[in-house]
Amino acid sequence: MKLNINNISHSYDVEVLHDLKFNLEGYKSIAIIGVSGSGKSTLIRLMSGMEKPTFGNIDINEMNVSSEEYRKKIGFVFQNHNLFPHLSLKRNITLILEKTRNKTKEEAETIALSKLKLLHLSDQVNKLPKNVSGGQAQRASIARALSVDPDIIFLDEPTASLDPILTHEVLTAVEELKGLGKEFIFVTHVLSFVRDFADYVIYMHEGRIHEYGLPSILDSPKTKELKEFMRKVR
């Protein structure tokens, strides 16, 4: 992945990201870590193009992230599964494919079933989100993100609302996707997953990229803030 963050600042009522400049090339799976409120979700939303920075711009793989071309190439998995509650797991996927990707009913069905199978949900496809476990619902939303065949998959704390067993189940399913040739940008508090899955780590602190590098920075943090963070999360 080629990532160019060009002097972005972002404000809601106050400024929460402060003039980030960051260029990176050659990694496929980037983890963003940091305490609550440090700006991780804001940054990942800006990188996905879902939200526009107050100042500056971001290019990923040589595309401006607000371009239509880029938007077609990404998938996003939210903290809470975000599935339509009144639709089955399968229909949650076929609807997107029919409405946004011009797939026929039959094509949409084939894709939905194959992605749900990949996430080990073949026996749950006709259930409503409320009738499956939190882990299954979150895996269905990963299947939905994959269904549009994105180049990059964003995940913002996909296991934040899950217990440790379901967290493990979901993260194992994500690790199994490694062979698909996709790129990943994700936020998580599960450092064992960062070590296993990320090939690059960005540590956010108070709206800035405070420390960054290979996952080995977790073992020998340079800044006192990352040292302290590592003490608190584990």
List contacts with Mg ion (CB under 5 A).
41
Nearer to Mg ion, 35 or 95 (CB): 35
Residue of 27, 19, 58, 6 whose CA lies nearest to 194? 27
Please tell me whether residue 38 binds ligand ADP under the rule CB under 6 A: yes
Q: Kindly report the length of the chain.
A: 234
Judged by CB under 6 A, which stretch of 21-29, 31-39, 59-67, 88-96 contacts ligand ADP? Answer: 31-39
State the Cα–Cα distance between residues 225 and 234, nearest whole angstrom. 14
AA identity, residue 42: T
| Interacting partner of 102 out of ligand ADP, Mg ion, none (Cβ under 5 to 8 A depending on kind) | none
Contact in structure between 58 and 17 (CB atoms under 8 Å): no
Please tell me whether residue 37 binds ligand ADP under the rule CB under 6 A: yes
Kindly give the pairing relationship between strand 29-33 and strand 183-187.
Answer: parallel
CA separation, residue 131 to residues 86, 128, 141, 196, 232 (Å): 11, 5, 15, 31, 35
Please tell me whether residue 34 binds ligand ADP under the rule CB under 6 A: yes
Kindly give the pairing relationship between strand 15-25 and strand 63-64.
Answer: unpaired
Give me the least distance between CB of 44 and ligand ADP, in Å please.
Answer: 8
Give me the least distance between CB of 143 and ligand ADP, in Å please.
Answer: 24
Give me the least distance between CB of 132 and ligand ADP, in Å please.
Answer: 26
List the one residue from 3, 5, 20, 41 that touches ligand ADP (CB under 6 A): 41
Write the DSSP string, 71-84. Answer: HTTEEEE-SS----
| Interacting partner of 16 out of ligand ADP, Mg ion, none (Cβ under 5 to 8 A depending on kind) | ligand ADP
Nearer to ligand ADP, 147 or 159 (CB): 159
Contact in structure between 133 and 124 (CB atoms under 8 Å): no
Task: Give 66's DSSP letter.
Answer: T
Nearer to Mg ion, 41 or 94 (CB): 41
Nearer to Mg ion, 41 or 167 (CB): 41
Binders of ligand ADP in range 10-29 (CB under 6 A): 12, 16
Residues of this chain that interact with ligand ADP (CB under 6 A) are 12, 16, 34, 36-42
